[in-house]
Structure 1
Amino acid sequence: MRHDKFAGPAYTIQIVSNALDMLELLAMRPANPSLGRLAGSLNLTRNKAYRLLSTLCERGLVEQDPETGTYAIGVAALELAQRLIRQAPVVNHAHPIMEELARKHDEAVYMTVLRGDDVVFLDMVDCERQVKATPLIGRRFPYFTNAAGKAIKALEGADPLNLLKKRGRKNNSLDVGSLLSELHEIRHKGVAVDCGGLGDGIVSVAVAVRDYAGKVVGAITMLVPSFRAVADRLESEIIPSLQEGADLLSMKLGHGPC
């Protein structure tokens, strides 16, 4: 019997696909959803959704609140995610660099990657300050709302307009001309700075990272409350450090100097 590489819907196991959809849905929900809401969102019967959730709860991947009956991601899922993330080469190499940046500037530092046209905040080293941004680890945001997405998109060569049309986004507040101009400037400067895209009073600063093939694989990103993100500090301290850190990580991933 030939064992060709499996690909395509013909090899999809529906129950596994449903379980993964359930975990992804729970991870994305800000409030813990009920059985009925989960079943409706995934187009499952309540019976199928309940059996699936019961199995996931038994393995600790999902937890049910005994008082409200709502569901949330379980500790086992979080532990598994952390183990997998830390084993990823880009995160494994990035974490020590992130620790040094966080220690040097006392601000939160993230390793971010692009999935589709959304940015995912994969790994984080937090700061010691009392006033800081809400942790974003595991969260996804449209690329055009933050410095990380813009830094990656500016260098990876894909047409941002095509991605927006493909997703069918309708965002009347998005100025496409300004976005294209900003991406061009980021490509020239090698750094992206965004104010307010991740929340009021939050400034994100990011520099893209490349691998051995020159492919953009992510961005080192720092989040700074706006009252600490004064222009002199950004230009003379934070941006040079992020560029140095991103260059070092790129070298660790096999990317040589330009």
Structure 2
Amino acid sequence: MTISSKDPRGRLTGATSPEDNTETPTAAQRADDPLFVGSLEKGMRVLEAFRDSAESLGLTDIARVTGLGKSAAQRFVYTWEQLNYLVKDPESRRYRLGPRVVELGYFFLRNDRLVAMAAPHLVALRDRCGLAVNMSVLAGQDMIYLLRLPSRQLTLNEMLPGRRMPAWSNSAGRMLLTQFDDDAVLSVLQRSPRQPFTARTLVEPDELLAAIRQAREDGYALTESQVLQNQVGAAVLVRDGRQFPLAAISVSAAGHDYPRERLVREIVPELFQTAQAICPA
């Protein structure tokens, strides 16, 4: 289940470096790029300011988070409001993302070929095992959920696609990192902020590297109480006909119902079967 060859940059054959997936080039690269529209990037900063905010934001908050002057922030906020990407509370004068933002995600999911191929197989997997099923892709040093089919026990945050998580923190992200060699993975881990989610979250680079190395060897990743206490996860890669990794599919469950032995015995084979059905060799 592993790929052993490497290219000159230390990547496993067919893999793209995590740095190659990073969406944010440096300021120097932007300044030298004649096609880069700086004002558009600043406008996107305003929408992205809501990424880590559970509540609405005031104009002063937006200016602080984005690093924009208050006058510039006001113009961008006003424009997004007129386009219905931001909604303003008339009483508090604070802003929140508008429903039109969801449309963009819908357009992507509706037209993405991998999502279309995977969706019926993931639904079938969820129906067979009765557990939460997800599909994720790598985005720089993080992973993003594209599809999330919840179980009855999951919270709202665990049901919504589009959530971004550190790749090192869960079974799907670790499985996505297995496509890179140890040096590349260690470089990612050392640069990534690593704050524990639970008392059992692994955060030391050496421990995480060992877990990712084990997942590469096994062909599947297992986690326990890494993001949520008493939640376990299992993940495998979905590969195309050339064995190029496209995504990770994962299942999460309550730890008291699914100890490691049961995950390996019952869930991992189901994941392999589903991955093969999504992209037959």
Decide: shared fold, TM above 0.5.
yes
Q: Distance in 2 between matches of 1:35 and 1:186?
A: 45
1:236 aligns with 2:265: yes
Shift of 1:118: 0.5
Q: CA RMSD in A?
A: 2.3
On the 8 A contact 2:57/2:95 being kept in 1, the answer is yes
Larger RCO: Structure 1 or Structure 2 (Cα < 8 Å, ≥ 6 residues apart)?
2
Describe the superposition over 1:122-170 as per-residue Cα deviations: whole angstroms up to 9, x where unpaired: 221223x2x22432522211111100111111134471111234x3646
Shift of 1:171: 5.9
Q: Distance in 1 between matches of 2:92 and 2:33?
A: 37
1:94 aligns with 2:122: no
How is 1:104-253 mapped onto 2 (pairs within 5 angstroms)?
104-127=128-151, 129=152, 131-133=153-155, 134-157=158-181, 159-165=184-190, 167=191, 169=193, 174-251=203-280
Tell which deviates more after alignment, 151-160 or 47-56. Answer: 151-160
5+ residue gaps, structure 2, are: 1-29, 197-201
Tell which deviates more after alignment, 71-80 or 135-144. Answer: 135-144
SS at match of 1:132: coil
Q: In the superposition, relative to structure 1, how do residues 65 and 205 fare at CA in structure 2: closer, same or farther (>3 Å)?
A: farther
On the 8 A contact 2:168/2:189 being kept in 1, the answer is no
Shift of 1:106: 1.6
How is 1:39-78 mapped onto 2 (pairs within 5 angstroms)?
39-78=63-102
Q: In the superposition, relative to structure 1, how do residues 202 and 37 fare at CA in structure 2: closer, same or farther (>3 Å)?
A: same
Q: Distance in 2 between matches of 1:240 and 1:231?
A: 13
SS at match of 1:199: coil
Equivalent position amino acid for 2:67 in 1: N
Shift of 1:100: 0.7
Q: In the superposition, relative to structure 1, how do residues 199 and 164 fare at CA in structure 2: closer, same or farther (>3 Å)?
A: same
On the 8 A contact 1:101/1:241 being kept in 2, the answer is yes
Q: Distance in 2 between matches of 1:192 and 1:238?
A: 11
Q: Distance in 2 between matches of 1:132 and 1:227?
A: 15
Equivalent position amino acid for 2:121 in 1: I
Tell which deviates more after alignment, 31-40 or 143-152. Answer: 31-40
Partner of 1:33: 57
Equivalent position amino acid for 1:164 in 2: L
What percent identity do the matched residue pairs reach? 25
TM-score (norm 2): 0.78
Q: Across the two proteins, how many residue pairs are aligned to each other? A: 243
Shift of 1:47: 1.8
Q: Distance in 1 between matches of 2:173 and 2:52?
A: 18
TM-score (norm 1): 0.85
Q: Distance in 2 between matches of 1:199 and 1:67?
A: 37
Q: Distance in 1 between matches of 2:132 and 2:91?
A: 35
